[in-house]
């Protein structure tokens, strides 16, 4: 059984990280040359960790299933990255970023971790600027900032709508330098199939070459999992199609506790579902809510007319529009947190005011911003009394400079010009706040196995604020893990190379082969996607934006039955020892079928609403989340016990010494 010890340092909150760095053990440079580290996943967290560990002198092996680390899902992040630099002079500080993150997570995250995140956030921006990341700049040359949901300051640094891509290229360039030096061995198109434990410690992985099908053994003194989230358990999500839970779930089955799996974020601004044959959803950045106003028609008859194509949104008078976020949350308006905005959109659509053919969409309208920016640009350009056409043209130029690639992407997918007609958006699964349980050092309950970025649970509580995913990934990779892993590795300076010709590796490889043969042994009635889609419908309908005890109980049973049917009847063509993409998918969906059941079990046990976990039985009179701090102010960490329904619950009580718990309000 794993032991849950959060290892949170004593002392004042603002001093914990500094004190901890001074207290932990170090590995001297000469000894680092003799220590191997495996990093699985090469997105922002994994790429940053690999580059930094190699720069420090460790021998690093990286693994990713993509053909290049540049294709990690981190590339899809659009809107920006938070940091408490207070460039706008609007009152930001480390404490304010810490407070907003705790409050945004509905008081379900660990104080010490979140404060550390805020504390190192400024260093991330300096690091990335030094790497050449082309952040947007103001007229005077200073880095520009914009606002994101759930905060009252502008702290989000951005590169148009391509922030994730630019940050990933920075981390990738740092990795390439180490690859060129021989300090990183990169294994692209390789998938981790299992974690290898030797004497209870993580000492390597079993990997599969996805091109040749060959099974490989790789040893190390420690293993870092930076493999992202598990949103694809819903089938339709904003995640890349290949995003999966396999590495984390393999570790979970070997003893790593899985924390808060039901804490999953529904993003409010995604392109709506278009049909049954769709394989993924596309995100429209939350940054658009800076300038876009969200609305639906006030009158039911107008909503019906729009759905039937008899009325265009541009024909609806201003007084006939319901800007419902501005109406319900005047202090934050369109910049409320994602969980609040998502539930509000669902409520309006469920009430019959949705605006697309399915009735599951609301408008995101830029007409007001275009006119506002156009007037401002006309004045600064010396144009007196410009006509409306000139104002609109100038305003569109400003919007294009800020969000141009996002508007272009929307038009290519929907075939409508968002400069001329409002975007249509609807909530979709986006990010997972749950993940492997880690202590303050980012170590799981398996000694030597670390989890970074979205793969761990540590910083976002029950809801992640926008632009905090990139911040956490880079904080973990550049500024946290490289310090804390040394404390563990300091005990391995005399261990020597970990051999792969051992009983532990033999057994792990055998288990991998047996599992693949079992996957290939189904009767062949249904495809892998058939099961993934069925799982996704159960998850969305019964574990999605709103949950209740009855449907969660049904979900547990339905997923269990579906998993049994999957193992008996799935069709996986081809062979094990060759390129086989259906076999890849089958292994991932098999893990999703176990995770889905634990997800429902976790949501069922948490009899409260908080953040992205909304139980219909627990809500205020205004329809907001109703927390139960007396009974559920803890991290739910689940220990594997054979079947997901038998998982054993461990609780990490959350202590708030520096923040007063309040009913979360954005009014």
- Phi, psi of 384, deg, nearest 5: -100, 135
Q: Which of 45, 8, 9, 17 is nearest to 435 (CA)?
A: 45
Query: With the C-alpha atoms ordered 651, 655, 660, 664, is the resulting torsion angle positive or negative?
Result: negative
Pair 124, 85: CB distance under 8 Å:
no
What's the rounded Cα separation, in Å, for the pair 111 and 271? 35
The bridge status of strand 201-209 relative to strand 190-198 is antiparallel
DSSP state of 318: G
| 108 belongs to the catalytic site | no
DSSP state of 577: S
Strand order in the sheet with 435-436: 435-436, 258-259, 634-639, 648-653
C-alpha dist (Å) from residue 72 to 66, 243, 267, 436, 452: 7, 9, 20, 20, 15
Catalytic residue among 338, 343, 563, 664: 338
Q: Up-side HSE of residue 211: CA atoms within 13 Å toward CB?
A: 7
Give the tokens for residue 653. Answer: 């009580």
What's the rounded Cα separation, in Å, for the pair 161 and 79? 5
Q: Which of 210, 197, 248 is nearest to 506 (CA)?
A: 197
Those residues whose C-beta lies under 8 Å from the C-beta of residue 541, and which sit 6 or more positions away, are: 551
DSSP state of 567: H
- Phi, psi of 53, deg, nearest 5: -65, -40
Give the tokens for residue 153. Answer: 């300051």
Q: Which residues are catalytic?
A: 338
């Amino acid at each position: 059984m794993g032991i849950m010890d959060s290892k949170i340092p004593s002392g004042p909150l603002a001093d914990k990280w500094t004190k901890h760095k001074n207290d932990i053990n170090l590995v001297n440079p000469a000894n680092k040359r003799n220590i191997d580290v495996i990093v699985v996943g090469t997105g922002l967290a994994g790429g940053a960790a690999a580059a930094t560990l190699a720069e420090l002198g460790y021998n690093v092996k990286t693994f990713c299933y993509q053909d290049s680390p540049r294709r990690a899902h981190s590339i899809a992040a659009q809107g920006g990255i938070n940091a408490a630099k207070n460039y706008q002079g609007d009152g930001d500080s480390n404490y304010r970023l810490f407070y907003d993150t705790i409050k945004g997570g509905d008081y379900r995250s660990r104080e010490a971790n979140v404060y550390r995140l805020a504390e190192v956030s400024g260093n991330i921006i300096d690091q990335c600027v030094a790497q050449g990341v082309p952040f947007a700049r103001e007229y005077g040359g200073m880095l520009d900032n914009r606002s994101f949901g759930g905060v009252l300051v502008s702290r989000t640094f951005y590169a148009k709508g391509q922030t994730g891509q630019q940050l990933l290229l920075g981390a990738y360039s740092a990795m390439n330098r180490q690859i060129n030096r021989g300090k990183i061995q990169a294994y692209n198109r390789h998938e981790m199939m299992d974690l290898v434990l030797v004497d209870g410690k993580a000492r390597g992985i079993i990997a599969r070459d996805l091109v040749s099908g060959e099974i490989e053994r790789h040893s190390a003194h420690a293993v870092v999992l930076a493999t992202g989230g598990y949103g694809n358990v819903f089938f339709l999500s904003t995640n890349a199609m290949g995003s999966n839970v396999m590495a984390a779930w393999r570790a979970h089955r070997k003893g790593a506790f899985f924390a808060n799996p039901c804490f999953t974020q529904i993003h409010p601004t995604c392109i709506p579902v278009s049909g049954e044959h769709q394989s993924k959803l596309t995100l429209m950045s939350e940054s658009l809510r800076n300038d876009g106003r969200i609305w639906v028609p006030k009158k039911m008859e107008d909503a019906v007319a729009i759905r039937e194509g008899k009325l265009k949104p541009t024909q609806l008078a201003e007084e006939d529009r319901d800007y419902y976020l501005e109406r319900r949350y005047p202090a934050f308006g369109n910049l409320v947190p994602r969980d609040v905005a998502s539930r509000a959109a669902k409520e309006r659509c469920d009430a019959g005011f949705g605006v697309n053919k399915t009735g599951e969409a609301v408008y995101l309208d830029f007409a007001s911003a275009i006119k506002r920016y156009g007037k401002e640009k006309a004045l600064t350009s010396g144009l007196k009394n410009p006509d409306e056409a000139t104002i609109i043209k100038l305003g569109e130029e400003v919007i294009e400079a800020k969000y141009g690639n996002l508007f272009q992407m929307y038009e290519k997918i929907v075939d409508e010009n968002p400069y001329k007609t409002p975007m249509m958006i609807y909530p979709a699964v986006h990010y997972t706040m749950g993940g492997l349980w880690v202590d303050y050092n980012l170590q799981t309950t398996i000694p030597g196995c670390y989890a970074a970025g979205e793969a761990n649970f540590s910083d976002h509580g029950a809801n992640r604020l926008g632009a905090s995913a990139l911040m956490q990934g880079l904080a973990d990779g550049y500024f946290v893990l490289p310090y804390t892993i040394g404390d563990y590795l300091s005990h391995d300076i005399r261990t020597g190379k970990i051999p792969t010709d051992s009983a532990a590796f033999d057994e792990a490889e055998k288990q991998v082969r047996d599992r693949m043969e079992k996957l290939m042994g189904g009767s062949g009635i249904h495809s892998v996607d058939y099961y993934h889609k069925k799982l996704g419908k159960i998850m969305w309908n019964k574990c999605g934006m709103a949950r209740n005890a009855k449907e969660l109980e049904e979900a547990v049973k339905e997923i269990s039955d579906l998993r049994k049917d999957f193992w008996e009847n799935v069709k996986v063509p081809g062979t094990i020892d060759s390129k086989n993409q259906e076999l890849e998918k089958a292994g991932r969906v098999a893990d999703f079928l176990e995770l889905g059941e634990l997800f429902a079990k976790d949501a069922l046990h948490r009899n409260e609403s908080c953040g992205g976990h909304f139980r219909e039985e627990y809500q205020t009179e205004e329809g907001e989340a109703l927390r139960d701090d007396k009974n559920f102010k803890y991290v739910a960490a689940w220990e594997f016990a054979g079947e997901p329904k038998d998982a054993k619950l461990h609780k990490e009580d959350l202590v708030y010494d520096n923040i007063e718990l309040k009913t979360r309000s954005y009014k």
